[in-house]
Structure 1
Amino acid sequence: MSEALHRNYQVSEEIGRGRFGVVFRCLLPVNGVYYAVKSIEKSLVSADSLDAQCLLTEPKILHLLSPHPNIINLHDFYEDETHLHMVIDLCSSSDLHHRVVTRRVIPEPESASIMCQLVQALAHCHSLGVAHRDIKPDNILFDDRNRLKLADFGSAEFFKEGQLMSGVVGTPYYVAPEVLAGRDYCEKVDVWSAGVVLYIMLAGFPPFYGDSAVEIFDAVLRANLRFPARVFGSVSSAAKDLLRRMLCKDVSRRFSTEQVLRHPWITSGGGARTVADLT
């Protein structure tokens, strides 16, 4: 591991492991604060592959986006002959995926708080010309103050205003239909994915599903949004109104991040119950 990293940080136990590297807990003695260090082994990545491009792009994106209260912040970056090391925020609480699996359904006020923080993070990304492109519960972390931290910018892409992106990236349940259709797309793909996350928090299952990746993709492409009464009977019409606007197949009518943040269900902290409350 990098000598420069060890000069500045006390690296301790492993706390996570991914396809290309390992995440360790580390301490910065000068301020007594614990961080995480993501160490990526270069030999596991082909030099000319898309993965290599992502590994090089992620630190640049995190540097651009930091600091933000709802995004994993990059504090230090080291590179040696064998590894890349990113010192980032330590998120010791469970991620959103774990919370949904263990609790099944998350009440509207808590879901509104989580969604507000997530979309604030996305609004910051989009204002700086960054699309995340892989929004899902696994990438939504929480620190020891229960503050949301958006993580994993390995699929993120830079864009300029009015410029469209291409390439099929993302995770089956959460990817926007225009991505699957092979069309060029804009940053609103993140709003679609956030809408899927909101639906899952309120219902306990995704809005578009199937028994295989192909069936899931077909369901996403149809984008037939339903609210089964057995589950959504107790969910406010205001929440369902926001879901319709986020999970809108027509990109021109789909909400932007700023429109989501202005929606009364969000501004009321999940307290707006009916369509009448929206006016």
Structure 2
Amino acid sequence: MCENLNKQYQLCEELGRGRFGVVRRCFSAGTGDSFACKSIDKRLLLDTTDRECIDKEPKVLHLLGGNPHVVQIHALYEDDNYLHMVMDLCDSPDLFDRISNHGGVFSESEAFSVFSPLISAISYCHRSGIAHRDIKPDNVLFDSRGMLKLADFGSAEWFGMNERRTMTGVVGTPYYVAPEILSGGEYNEKVDVWSAGVILYIMLAGVPPFYGETPAETFEAVLRSNLRFPTRIFRSVSPEAKDLLRKMLCKDVSRRISAEQVSRHPWVVTGGETRSMADLS
């Protein structure tokens, strides 16, 4: 273990384990504050793509520092065998677990309480010229106060702030990946809007909008992008929520709204509370 890391932080129990390393709870030796230490075993990196992903995440997090809904990196240590990132501690169940354990669909106000900070984080990333490219419930974390933190920027890409450039490369996760990524061509940051739309659909419906029995069948369903609102499931979902979903899960990227436009949509502005025009007058 890195000598400087051990001088500054006390490593404690394991919180999670991934393909390349482990996440542990840790405490600052100076302040006693709690953090998470993500330790990557560089000996497990099999190719240059893996290495690029590992190198990219701390750089992206430094660029995005300061937003309350993006996980923050507090210290970085590296030796011959390991890369250690000291980050915000998010020890509450992530969104994947919350959806799995919810026992039913979310009400619109419950969905809004998750969706609003998520789209705020995505908008901030896009204003900073960063596309996440792997928005999914597993990467939507919560700290002990319940504050949402968007995490895992290993697949993120810089697309620029003024002269915005398109991106290439197949990244993402079945169910959540945008169709233009699967098509193998160029795409822009609106792939994150699509993925956030899938998350909102799942919270309101309890099922993904596009799925199959295998990853290949799921990809085919995503490419078709035949968005439906089954009456049995969406009977109690407001027209405003369905309108937002149509605009986020639009296969035509030129017609798909941006993250900033999502934040100004009536469903978001009213906090997921549907009101008639008479109520607003």
TM-score, normalised by the number of residues in structure 2: 0.95
In structure 2, how many angstroms separate the alpha carbons of the residues matched to 1:173 and 1:274? 33
Partner of residue 106, structure 1: 106
**Does the CA contact (< 8 Å) of 2:136 and 2:176 recur in 1?**
yes
Partner of residue 247, structure 2: 245
1:175 is the counterpart of 2:177 = yes
User: Which of 99-108 and 254-263 deviates more?
Assistant: 99-108
Partner of residue 58, structure 1: 57
Partner of residue 274, structure 2: 272
- CA apart distance, 1:278: 10
Partner of residue 35, structure 2: 35
For residues 79-134 of structure 1, the C-alpha deviation after alignment (integer angstroms, 9 at most, x for no partner) is 01110000000011100101111113111112112111011111111111111000
User: How many residues are paired up?
Assistant: 278
Partner of residue 26, structure 2: 26
1:192 to 186, 194, 198: 194
In structure 2, how many angstroms separate the alpha carbons of the residues matched to 1:172 and 1:50? 20
- CA apart distance, 1:254: 0.5
Runs of 4+ in structure 1 over 2 Å off: 29-32, 272-279
Partner of residue 69, structure 2: 70
1:233 to 226, 235, 240: 235
2:222 to 206, 220, 223: 220
- CA apart distance, 1:158: 0.9
In structure 1, how many angstroms separate the alpha carbons of the residues matched to 2:14 and 2:91? 13
For residues 197-226 of structure 1, the C-alpha deviation after alignment (integer angstroms, 9 at most, x for no partner) is 000000111000110111111111111100
SS in 2 for 1:39: strand
Gaps of 5+ in 1: none
TM-score, normalised by the number of residues in structure 1: 0.96
Q: Percent identity?
A: 60
For residues 19-49 of structure 1, the C-alpha deviation after alignment (integer angstroms, 9 at most, x for no partner) is 0000010001322210000000010003x42
**Does the CA contact (< 8 Å) of 1:9 and 1:27 recur in 2?**
yes
In structure 1, how many angstroms separate the alpha carbons of the residues matched to 2:135 and 2:228? 21
In structure 2, how many angstroms separate the alpha carbons of the residues matched to 1:9 and 1:85? 11
CA RMSD of aligned residues (A): 1.6
**Does the CA contact (< 8 Å) of 2:7 and 2:29 recur in 1?**
no
**Does the CA contact (< 8 Å) of 1:238 and 1:273 recur in 2?**
no
**Does the CA contact (< 8 Å) of 2:263 and 2:269 recur in 1?**
yes
Partner of residue 158, structure 1: 158
**Does the CA contact (< 8 Å) of 1:237 and 1:275 recur in 2?**
no
Gaps of 5+ in 2: none
Letter of the 1:192 partner, please give it: W
SS in 2 for 1:13: strand
